[in-house]
Structure 1
Amino acid sequence: MSGDVWFAALPDGERGMAAARLLRPWATETIPHHSGRPWLLGSWPPGHVTVGAAGDRRIAVIGRCPVTVAALSECAGRLWDIGDVERIAHSLHGSFHLLASVDGSVRARGSVSGARRLFHTRVAGVSVAADRADRLAAVIGSAPDERLLAAHLLASPLPYPLDDLCVWQGVQAVPSFDCLLIDADGRARTQPWWTPPEPYRAWREGVPAVRSALTAAVDARTAGGGTVSADLSGGLDSTSLCFLAARQQARTRPTGAKLVTLRWQSIDPENDDAAWAARAAAHLPDSEHVTPAPDQWPSWYSALTALTGDAVPTDEPGPWVRDGARMTALCRLMTDRGSRSHLMGGGGDELFSTFPPYLHDYVRRHPLAAYSRIRRQRAAHNWPVGQLLRQLADRGTFGQWLSAWAESLTGAPPPSQALVRSAPSTAWGVGPRMPTWATREAVEAVRDLLREAAATAEPLAAERGQHTALACVRTGGRGLRQLDQVTSRNGLALTAPYLDDQVIEAALAIRVAERSTPGRYKPVLAEAVRGIVPDDVLRRNTKGEYSTDFHVSLRRNLPALLELFDGSRLARAGLIDDGAIRASLLGVHPTPEALRSLGSTLGNEIWLRARPAPTGPASATITEGVP
């Protein structure tokens, strides 16, 4: 199926029917409540929505989950009330939205990472939920919020807690850890459905749970046979998924199961990803391996004008546009070979690495062990002692860190450790800066958002290491969601098994300090896939570096980038100085860090240019109450 994939959920009642009439012209599918009134509307490919029913109770799973109608109907039969659905859902695997309809009320939630998100607004006097914010915005005639557009200029996708804000005025995002409850009268409220696990397990004790969850996550993508594709970059994350998928495909070979891998080649001869990917591919002789030559694979920042000439596929701005031409090539190469689902390794770094803030917790919980580890890492990386000690001594709260971040939005970015001796930050996070081309008004808008958040926001976990991991998981989920919106429009669903709820739970239940070990690369993941991934592939302890690709791509596409920011929509909105960004593009950049904000600004600009003028939907294609 090509075109936007989306759904909306409505309460059961006359007002819900009125809201459905406003949404219906965009929809090609509908699923009713027990009453016959519309419950779910939208457009989706076959197999994307599974509904189980028992009496007046309905459960819907929307996304990648191998549950059957019969099994889901049995679950619906065990529902005592609408809040009981999480107990029943515990056995479900994959990446999906979970919805229930009981006695006219609706309960809906997405996924922990935010790869599956929900939004809601008032339509025809009732609350309506949807997985795409722009669909709701179109119905109520909403415009983008310029304060949020300013925040999308930050050097990374919206970080927590700004990621719980919606770019469309009048449309609210449901926080990733919350569900949405809509009663029969159309009133909505949110409540938590998920609590992060306490990191209590030793890493060896946690490995079996990670192996089980990750295996089930990949099996959820390969269930039913057919062709599945996957990245094979040479890194441990994507390589592990390829071997897990190949093992499952081998079991279902009679159904025509097939694995196709994709590896694009860096133009840097020193990048060793290619050698490790080739080693892995040699162990997968029954799979098809696609490796476009460097001159056959688009560079970053290619074909930007093509993106501005069509309705943008994402419901919010994002830095994915840097890879827009590559996403088009990916879809073509994989769908031509029969794939409708593509696996990527996103989430592996977030779950199976440790981030520097964990040292702040570790030194307090286990000072002797922390001292030994810090001493080794400081010697290896040449960290300045005084700077590191000052950071470890900091006792600032999360709110205080947000306030400090608000004041440092225009400060110099952290120096590259490749150029300057610098200890990594052990604060609650590394607050991304506003780019040098942002206007004073844009900076003040983001500063106000951060100050407002600082007054009430709580960290995602009590300790900095766990909080940082969760924040990074959410950033990864947001990025995956946008990329999936791009590729699904072209018939290829993009999935990341590491970002499934049960994989996240299993990984984050392991003690933060034990998720990495000096001298070993991602030991938890390596042990979890041992026996599935060959030992000679697991020996890798390096990671590919792509600075050369960045510089070549920038030089190759510089004229198009300069033209794009000539008469910029962001400049017209008073958010950037287009002269300043053009000067920066023409400057000298020893490392990609100097232009880290380019991707976000570029995504913002193209999103604004490609937003279609508000129009009514094309046609009405379904009938009231007809499944």
Structure 2
Amino acid sequence: MTGEAWFAVLADGERSRAAAQALRPLAARTIEHASGRPWLLGNWPDGRVTVAAAGAARLAVIGLCPVTAGALAERLAGVRGPEDVEAAAAGLTGSFHLAASVGGRVRVRGSASGVRRLFHAEVAGVTVAADRADTLAALTGAGVDERVLALHLLSSPPPYPLDAHCVWRGVTALPPQDCLLIEGDGRARAQRWWDPPEPWLTAAEGAPALRSALIAAVGARTADVRALSCDLSGGLDSTSVCFLAAAALFPAGTPARGAHAGTPVRGAHLPRPRLVALTWEGRDPANDDAAWAGRAAAHLPHAEHVVPRRTQQPVWYAGLPGMEVPTDEPGPWVRDRAALAATARLMTRRGSRLHLTGAGADELFTAFPAHLHDDVRVRPLATLARLYRQHTHQPWPLWPVLRGLTDRRDFDRWLADWAGGLARRPSPPPRGRPRPCVTWGEELRMPVWATPEAVRAVVGLLREAADARPLPLAAGRGQHTALAHARASGLRVRQLQQVLAPLGLECSAPYLDDGVLEAALAVRPDERGGDGRYKPVLKEAMAGIVPGSLLRRETKGEYSADLLTGLRRNRPALLALFEDSRLAGAGLVDADALRSRLTSLHAPGPDVLRGLDPTLGCETWLRDRAGGGGPATPGGAPCPFP
């Protein structure tokens, strides 16, 4: 897969003709409605769009899904209207967008995690949907919304419900749980297509379904591949993905790598597939991730284990001058741009065009403290006993937690209070022992170099969100928090896909597939960890697939040495980047204050480190957009920024 992949969706009506004409110069491929009018336009690699037709109905799966056109046509046979589409898609595995054209009406949606996202805008009087926001910005000549850009200084991607805002004016982000219905006249409305499951299961009860979902998710990516690569950090998440991939690619009895080279194992005419595992070593000698990755690789005789020497590893923040930013929205990934480019080079040289990552597992298999707020109302004595055990295992300031358990604010009230606190204390709170969050989420602060105008913009958006009285993502705080974090992870993975795709490598996260998400969220939040247990649901699900010796790991790597090394070596480039800051020109940051923090005699404090990556992501993204010409392709939309 090379180049920037994108698609747009048009209504089945004559009023869409002008929008289609505007898209055609950008699009290399077109798929039509039964009427012959353009339906899907864009650029996508072979094998990433599967279309079925039955009479006047069309159904398209766009992304990673092993369904064939024939099997999709059988599913389509029972579709009489847009309301039947989800039933027809039930059981499909992988990561994909789903689009349908039925009787002159269009229905399109992404994935529940946000990895597959949708945007829409009015183009020539009709609604056009697309998987990239800058596709629509290029069509409409949209500029950057300064208030939403300020949100990305707070966190990138912004947390729910602020993640519904798009940084391009006039472009609307569709919430991941919604689909878009587009009528023949170009009018559109959002409709809910997905709700999280009720979390009733214990870890033991939920593990079999999770195991099946993970096997299916990885299997959707290993079907008919000749070479596949995976992260192998040494942690449980990526290790599990590697073993799942090995089990799918190499059935029991397959000779180990190097033995009987060239022996067909997938049929007489098919060559043996290739599995490559990549490990980046941390710079802290006490970080044992690489050692555990080596132990895992020893149990993967079919895999090639690639471990670049430390001297060959790009440091964080390398390659900032002249960096091109291919994403349609800002993101903190720019810190790792050099490492991502190196990953693409190393893996594509070995034949891989698809790279699997363990992203999303921390969010799904960790017991966030917010679940204590739910549990204390159902099992008060057991919850207090658990809190005490957790306090002794990982010391928390006990009184603030107990006080937080009495908090009865609804989600909208919490948003309003967050806005009020941000207005009064825009900079990070005082340092001290970390306090576990038992509210609806972490009340993020703006970086200390944000201007009062930027703070006011974010406060205003928070208050607008509170006034709209949004529902939380789930009734319980624990489930809401897990899903909010999973969605944030999905949006980050989406950006990594946009970064790596032009370099010839497709990035994919099996943990964030809809089926895996549902299986994980069906387990009670209190069963996902705590009391010294580390990801018990995932460990239970991987028993018999991942060797038990690897499942018993209790340590976790720490990367502050990598961060400080990157800052020290690239401090001049960071300072130069903010000499002529686009964010400062827009009135969103005080460049002098930022440079002062970066040049302090001692190592930057937590307030600097917390705010630097989102700020850096916004600055480089804005520079790339402001320096571009007219938008000839997605990713090239200019920024008519005042």
- TM-score, normalised relative to structure 1: 0.96
Matches within 5 A, 1:111-510: 111-251=111-251, 253-254=266-267, 255=270, 256-307=272-323, 310=324, 312-409=325-422, 410-411=425-426, 413=428, 420-455=432-467, 456-510=469-523
Aligned-partner Cα distance in 2 for 1:156–1:346:
16
Aligned-partner Cα distance in 1 for 2:147–2:426:
20
Match of 1:94 in 2: 94
Aligned-partner Cα distance in 2 for 1:592–1:298:
23
Matches within 5 A, 1:588-603: 588-589=602-603, 592=606, 594-603=608-617
Identify if the C-alpha distance between structure 1 residues 238 and 405 changes in structure 2 by more than 3 Å, giving closer, same or farther: same
Note the aligned Cα RMSD (angstroms). Answer: 1.5
Match of 2:66 in 1: 66
Aligned-partner Cα distance in 1 for 2:117–2:396:
40
- Taking only the aligned residue pairs, the percentage that are identical comes to 59
| Structure 2 residue identity aligned to 1:565 | F
Instruction: Note the C-alpha offset of 1:297.
Output: 1.4
Aligned-partner Cα distance in 1 for 2:488–2:633:
34
Q: Is the 8 A contact 1:155 1:435 kept in 2?
A: no
Instruction: Note the C-alpha offset of 1:371.
Output: 1.5
Identify if the C-alpha distance between structure 1 residues 28 and 148 changes in structure 2 by more than 3 Å, giving closer, same or farther: same
Instruction: Note the C-alpha offset of 1:346.
Output: 0.5
For residues 116-149 of structure 1, what are the alpha-carbon distances to aligned partners after superposition, in whole Å with 9 as ceiling and x for unaligned?
0001111122111000010101101100100001
Q: Is the 8 A contact 2:374 2:478 kept in 1?
A: yes
Q: Is the 8 A contact 2:153 2:614 kept in 1?
A: yes
Match of 1:546 in 2: 559
Instruction: Note the C-alpha offset of 1:413.
Output: 3.1
| Structure 2 residue identity aligned to 1:288 | E
Q: Is the 8 A contact 2:447 2:607 kept in 1?
A: no
**Partner secondary structure for residue 30 of structure 1:** strand
Can you give the 5+ residue segments of structure 2 that lack an aligned partner in the other structure? 252-264, 635-642
Aligned-partner Cα distance in 2 for 1:415–1:71:
58
Instruction: Note the C-alpha offset of 1:592.
Output: 4.7
Aligned-partner Cα distance in 1 for 2:342–2:182:
41
Identify if the C-alpha distance between structure 1 residues 618 and 315 changes in structure 2 by more than 3 Å, giving closer, same or farther: closer
Identify if the C-alpha distance between structure 1 residues 190 and 614 changes in structure 2 by more than 3 Å, giving closer, same or farther: farther
Q: Is the 8 A contact 2:359 2:493 kept in 1?
A: yes
For residues 308-341 of structure 1, what are the alpha-carbon distances to aligned partners after superposition, in whole Å with 9 as ceiling and x for unaligned?
xx4x210001101111111111111111111111
Match of 2:16 in 1: 16
**Partner secondary structure for residue 159 of structure 1:** coil
| Structure 2 residue identity aligned to 1:560 | A
Instruction: Note the C-alpha offset of 1:408.
Output: 2.5
Aligned-partner Cα distance in 2 for 1:513–1:454:
28
Q: Is the 8 A contact 1:114 1:474 kept in 2?
A: yes
Q: Is the 8 A contact 1:156 1:597 kept in 2?
A: no
**Partner secondary structure for residue 3 of structure 1:** coil
Q: Is the 8 A contact 1:141 1:614 kept in 2?
A: no
Instruction: Note the C-alpha offset of 1:188.
Output: 0.3
Match of 2:585 in 1: 572
For residues 389-442 of structure 1, what are the alpha-carbon distances to aligned partners after superposition, in whole Å with 9 as ceiling and x for unaligned?
1111111111121112112234553566xxx33431211111211001000000
Instruction: Note the C-alpha offset of 1:610.
Output: 0.5
**Partner secondary structure for residue 41 of structure 2:** strand
Instruction: Note the C-alpha offset of 1:614.
Output: 4.7
| Structure 2 residue identity aligned to 1:180 | L
Instruction: Note the C-alpha offset of 1:597.
Output: 1.1
Match of 1:615 in 2: 630
| Structure 1 residue identity aligned to 2:143 | A
Instruction: Note the C-alpha offset of 1:156.
Output: 4.4
| Structure 2 residue identity aligned to 1:538 | L
For residues 281-302 of structure 1, what are the alpha-carbon distances to aligned partners after superposition, in whole Å with 9 as ceiling and x for unaligned?
0001111111111121111100
| Structure 1 residue identity aligned to 2:453 | E
Aligned-partner Cα distance in 2 for 1:618–1:52:
28
Alignment match of 2:533 (pick from 495, 520, 531) = 520
Aligned-partner Cα distance in 2 for 1:589–1:405:
30
| Structure 1 residue identity aligned to 2:580 | G
Alignment match of 2:619 (pick from 602, 605, 608) = 605
Aligned-partner Cα distance in 1 for 2:631–2:544:
55
Instruction: Note the C-alpha offset of 1:383.
Output: 2.2
Aligned-partner Cα distance in 2 for 1:107–1:573:
38
For residues 427-481 of structure 1, what are the alpha-carbon distances to aligned partners after superposition, in whole Å with 9 as ceiling and x for unaligned?
1111211001000000000000000001122211111100000100110001000
**Partner secondary structure for residue 24 of structure 2:** helix
**Partner secondary structure for residue 31 of structure 1:** strand
Aligned-partner Cα distance in 2 for 1:411–1:388:
23
Q: Is the 8 A contact 2:428 2:448 kept in 1?
A: no
| Structure 1 residue identity aligned to 2:618 | N
Match of 1:623 in 2: none
Instruction: Note the C-alpha offset of 1:385.
Output: 2.7
| Structure 1 residue identity aligned to 2:622 | L
Aligned-partner Cα distance in 1 for 2:280–2:59:
41
Aligned-partner Cα distance in 1 for 2:382–2:605:
35
Instruction: Note the C-alpha offset of 1:225.
Output: 2.8
For residues 571-611 of structure 1, what are the alpha-carbon distances to aligned partners after superposition, in whole Å with 9 as ceiling and x for unaligned?
00000000011011122346655421111000000001101
Can you give the 5+ residue segments of structure 1 that lack an aligned partner in the other structure? 620-627
* 1:103 has 2:117 as partner: no
Instruction: Note the C-alpha offset of 1:354.
Output: 0.8
* Deviating 4+ runs (over 4 angstroms): 590-593
Q: Is the 8 A contact 1:550 1:592 kept in 2?
A: no
Aligned-partner Cα distance in 2 for 1:178–1:487:
27
Aligned-partner Cα distance in 2 for 1:250–1:79:
38
Identify if the C-alpha distance between structure 1 residues 146 and 360 changes in structure 2 by more than 3 Å, giving closer, same or farther: same
Aligned-partner Cα distance in 2 for 1:590–1:248:
46
- TM-score, normalised relative to structure 2: 0.93
Match of 1:625 in 2: none
Instruction: Note the C-alpha offset of 1:82.
Output: 1.4
For residues 228-270 of structure 1, what are the alpha-carbon distances to aligned partners after superposition, in whole Å with 9 as ceiling and x for unaligned?
1000000000000000000101036553322101110001000
**Partner secondary structure for residue 181 of structure 1:** strand
Aligned-partner Cα distance in 2 for 1:192–1:595:
38
